[in-house]
């Protein structure tokens, strides 16, 4: 654990214990963050330390709060997609799809199977990218930089696929309300097939680098554990919950976007410690590959968007050459499409757990109220309980294995 | 175990708390109950401890502001989930903006801690019994509740932004 001395403000507190004064305990207050290379994001932890052991901790969040929920109350529906990109920016496409599906649920439109399969492929690629970053960073924090640099190449290849699909890499704004903005071209299929062919070999090397590594065991087994009961009480979802042994996955519990068509397993852990969280994510990467293969093999023919001209942005050629398309384009861009009144909650399985969208619509051009259920924000409050009594270096590894993303934490 | 339907769920809650339930509807297949704010903790405790329902998971807490409804301006929205029965439930409790008090559910769900702080931070709803009801995402010095509707996102006095056709 390499804590930069300059980053740490140390204060020494003295605590008297016992009347004789011979049992003299000194606690140190350690300020970890707000900007610290080992926290991988902007959040502050004020740790009370007894030597190298964490006695207590207090968190401060909100450093990159951007008031998305307020901004969303002024924006037409299609413009909110770009806000969702910036929640969990490691797997932006999942948030995009979650948002599209929320609006589609509100306006009650069925999406063609082809678009659903395309979305599944994109979401699973995003999940692989998200889990790769998380697991590679756990490697870095335990002293294995090689795996990180190796796996980042593959994240780049996933981003190449996104670039080919939608033109963007990180904050993708992928898909549209009502379907996808365009069909996959041949290059997309070529890149996906190359990825499906080459990635498993490379990933297998990464697996053998860490999964049975003695040093990695020592650092991660029984580090930052949490029981299933406490995890549920703390609102854990996603890999962090499954590491405790609860097989809850939104993709299976409330299938969306044709997930019921695919055959895949839900990897679960046993102890809810850092190693189990790591292994659950590793397992999910293999399952995601399985899902993508099935989706590519069984890709249905047909249209990639639903017949909802009042919400689905028409292709640009039509806008320039077709009167009706121009009118719809104009109405959508100016936010003049009528939406029904109502309230809707839709959840998708994000990289870190259940990403939920709760929306109240009063029939206006923007949502009356929009709330993002951000899994990071909810499970991060369990962090003090998980690191209590452990060493500082374990706290760092626990933090990376929780995969707290600052953008999702603060919204 | 027989599958628990929305109708069954509503009936079971009605048996216990019939007088505290002000209305119920099922938008987009999720049972939504408007409940008496004073009874929030009791109802959630029942849902949590009932052996059949087992709503052990608090999915989400958020607020909303409705300035038009006199005496019920602020609303707290709870999303609950029973993983074993795979059913979700939405509870809404309206409180007046003058005395926005509602019992905290942190004793039942540890996850409610930050979610209630967030709701307080943005809407000023006072969760009585909360262990540490402080601002969480905004700065501590802030003296207003920014997600209330009286704070427009854009400066309302600007004339160059006025657009009578598109309702800006």
Identify whether A313 is part of a domain: no
- pLDDT category, B167, cuts 50, 70, 90? low
Residue in B64, B109, B146 closest to A70 by CB: B146
Domain count along chain A: 2
Whether chain B has a CB inside 8 Å of the CB on A344: the answer is yes
Q: Is residue A29 part of a domain?
A: yes
Q: Say whether pLDDT at A13 is over 80.
A: no
What confidence tier does A337 reach under pLDDT thresholds 50, 70, 90?
A: confident
pLDDT at residue A257 tops 80: yes
pLDDT at position A35: 81
Is B104 within the bounds of a domain? yes
B62 interaction partners in chain A (CB closer than 8 Å)? 358, 369, 371
The answer to whether residue B55 sits within a structural domain is yes
Do A178 and A29 lie in one domain? The reply is no
Three-state SS at A28: strand
Please indicate, yes or no, whether residues A286 and A377 belong to a single structural domain of this protein: yes
ipTM of the complex: 0.91
Q: What confidence score (pLDDT) does residue A335 get? A: 81
Domain co-membership, A55 together with A139: no
Neighbours of A169 (CB within 10 A): 14
Query: Is residue A369, in this structure, part of any structural domain at all?
Result: yes
CATH number at residue A390: 1.10.645.10
Identity of the residue in A253, A345, A347 whose CB atom sits nearest the CB atom of B86:
A253
How many Cβ pairs within 8 Å bridge chains A and B? 95
Check whether residue A227 and residue A344 sit in a common domain: yes
Which contacts of A121-124 are long-range, i.e. CB under 8 A and separated by 24 or more positions? A121/A192, A121/A292, A121/A295, A121/A296, A122/A93, A122/A97, A122/A162, A122/A165, A122/A174, A122/A175, A123/A93, A123/A94, A123/A97, A123/A257, A123/A348, A124/A288, A124/A289, A124/A291, A124/A292, A124/A295
Of A105, A253, A373, Cβ closest to residue B28: A105
Which residues on chain B are in Cβ contact (under 8 Å) with A335? 166
In a domain, B143, yes or no: no
- Asked whether residue B141 is assigned to any structural domain, the reply reads no
- Average pLDDT over every residue of A297-305: 94
Number of domains in chain B: 1
Helix (H, G, I), strand (E, B) or coil at A10: strand
Residues whose CB falls within 8 Å of the CB of residue B163, separated by 6 or more in sequence, listed in order: none
pLDDT band at A101 (very low <50, low <70, confident <90, very high): very high
Structural domain range at position A50: 5-60
Whether chain A has a CB inside 8 Å of the CB on B73: the answer is no
Q: What is the CATH number of the domain that holds B118?
A: 3.30.460.80
B47: containing domain: 21-128
pLDDT at residue A12 greater than cutoff 80: no
Residues A53 and A93 in one domain: no
Do residues A350 and A283 both lie within one domain? yes
Q: Both A394 and A357 in a single domain?
A: yes
């Amino acid at each position: 654990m390499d804590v930069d001395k300059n980053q740490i403000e140390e204060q020494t507190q003295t605590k008297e214990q016992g009347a004789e004064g011979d049992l003299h305990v000194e606690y140190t207050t350690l300020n970890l963050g707000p900007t610290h290379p080992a926290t991988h994001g902007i959040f502050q932890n004020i740790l009370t330390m007894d030597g190298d052991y964490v006695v207590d901790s207090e968190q401060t969040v909100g450093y990159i709060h951007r008031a998305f929920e307020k901004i969303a109350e002024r924006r037409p529906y299609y413009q909110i997609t770009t806000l969702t990109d910036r929640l969990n920016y490691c797997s932006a496409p999942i948030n995009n799809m979650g948002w599209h599906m929320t609006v589609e649920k509100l306006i009650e439109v069925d999406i063609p199977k082809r678009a659903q399969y395309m979305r599944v492929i994109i979401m699973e690629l995003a999940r692989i990218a998200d889990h790769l970053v998380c697991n590679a960073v756990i490697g870095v924090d335990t002293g294995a930089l090689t795996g990180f640099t190796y796996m980042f190449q593959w994240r780049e290849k996933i981003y190449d696929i996104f670039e080919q699909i939608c033109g963007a890499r990180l904050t993708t704004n992928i898909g549209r309300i009502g379907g996808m903005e365009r069909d996959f071209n041949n290059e997309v299929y070529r890149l996906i097939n190359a990825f499906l062919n080459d990635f498993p070999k490379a990933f297998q090397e990464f697996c053998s680098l860490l999964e049975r590594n003695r040093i990695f065991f020592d650092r991660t087994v029984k580090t930052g554990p949490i029981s299933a009961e406490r995890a549920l009480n703390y609102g854990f979802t996603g890999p962090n919950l499954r590491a405790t042994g609860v097989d809850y996955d939104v993709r299976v519990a409330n299938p969306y976007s044709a997930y019921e068509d695919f055959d895949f397993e839900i990897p679960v852990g046993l102890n809810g410690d850092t190693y189990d969280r790591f292994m659950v994510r590793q397992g999910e990467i293999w399952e995601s590959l399985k899902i993508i293969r099935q989706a590519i093999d069984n890709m249905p023919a047909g249209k990639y968007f639903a017949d909802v001209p009042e919400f689905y942005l028409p292709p640009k050629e039509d806008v320039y050459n077709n009167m009706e398309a121009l009118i719809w384009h104009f109405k959508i861009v100016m936010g003049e499409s009528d939406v029904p009144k109502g309230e809707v909650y839709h959840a998708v399985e994000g990289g870190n757990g259940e990403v939920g969208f709760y929306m109240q619509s009063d029939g206006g051009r923007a949502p009356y109220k929009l709330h993002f259920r951000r899994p990071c924000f909810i499970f991060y409050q369990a962090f003090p309980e998980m690191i209590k009594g452990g060493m500082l270096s374990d706290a760092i590894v626990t933090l990376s294995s929780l995969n707290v993303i600052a953008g999702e934490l603060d919204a | 175990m027989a599958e628990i339907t929305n109708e069954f769920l509503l009936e079971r809650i009605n048996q216990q708390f019939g007088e505290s339930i002000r209305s119920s509807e099922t938008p987009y297949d999720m049972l939504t109950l408007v409940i008496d704010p004073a009874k929030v903790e009791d109802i959630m405790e029942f849902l949590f401890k009932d052996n059949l329902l087992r709503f052990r998971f608090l999915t989400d807490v958020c607020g909303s502001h409705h300035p038009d409804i006199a005496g019920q301006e602020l609303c707290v929205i709870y999303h609950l989930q029973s993983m074993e029965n795979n059913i979700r439930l939405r509870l809404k409790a309206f409180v007046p903006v003058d005395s926005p008090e509602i019992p905290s559910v942190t004793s039942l769900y540890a996850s409610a801690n930050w979610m209630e702080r967030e709701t307080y931070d943005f809407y000023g709803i006072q969760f009585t019994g909360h262990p540490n009801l402080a601002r969480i995402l905004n700065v501590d010095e802030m003296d207003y509740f920014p997600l209330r509707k009286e704070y427009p996102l854009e400066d309302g006095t600007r004339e160059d932004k006025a657009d009578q056709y598109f309702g800006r």
